[in-house]
Amino acid sequence: MKGNKRGGIPKPTALKILEGNPGKRPLNKREPKPRGRPQCPAWLPREAKNEWKRMSTELERLGLLTSVDRAAFASYCLAWDRLINAEKVLQEQGLVMSFPRDDGTEYLQQRPEVSISNKAMIQIRAFCVEFGLTPASRARMQLPEEVAEKSKLEELLD
């Protein structure tokens, strides 16, 4: 590995290829190319497992998810779980809590789930950028022929 470099975090070559290499810089021909599907961790909560199932197949098909991406993808799924659970509490109980004061009045305080939800959204967006899952990153992508072609089953279903 080389020393610290200035600038942003480099994009994976697979993502650059999907985007059509807009910077026209040479692609890294020596980038590690791990293979295999990551196993969904058994300890993930229900909503995180649902998100894993929903997203993993497509990301793997695009070459953006491999066995070594398990921790990053699990973190994305955990953030998703936290967002869903925090939002359920907020929908049921509202954004604020009421507390009595000694003088008989009440004061309002933001529920902790508001912060949990906001942080989860920031984390989810960061992971989406890493995995090329934002609308802006998809708009820049151009699928290689072997990925863009529909499977025979997809063609029959159309």
pLDDT digits (tens, 9 = 90+) for 74-115: 999 999 999 999 999 999 999 999 999 999 999 999 999 999
pLDDT band at 124, cuts 50/70/90?
very high
Structure tokens at 48: 């995180």
pLDDT band at 49, cuts 50/70/90?
very high
Whether residue 1 has pLDDT greater than 50 = no
DSSP string spanning 41-110? Answer: PTTS-HHHHHHHHHHHHHHHHTT---GGGHHHHHHHHHHHHHHHHHHHHHHHH-SEEEEE-TTS-EEEEE
Residue 69 contacts by C-beta under 8 Å, 6 or more apart in sequence? 34, 38
CA distance 83 to 77: 10
Task: Return the higher-pLDDT residue of 64 and 42.
Answer: 42
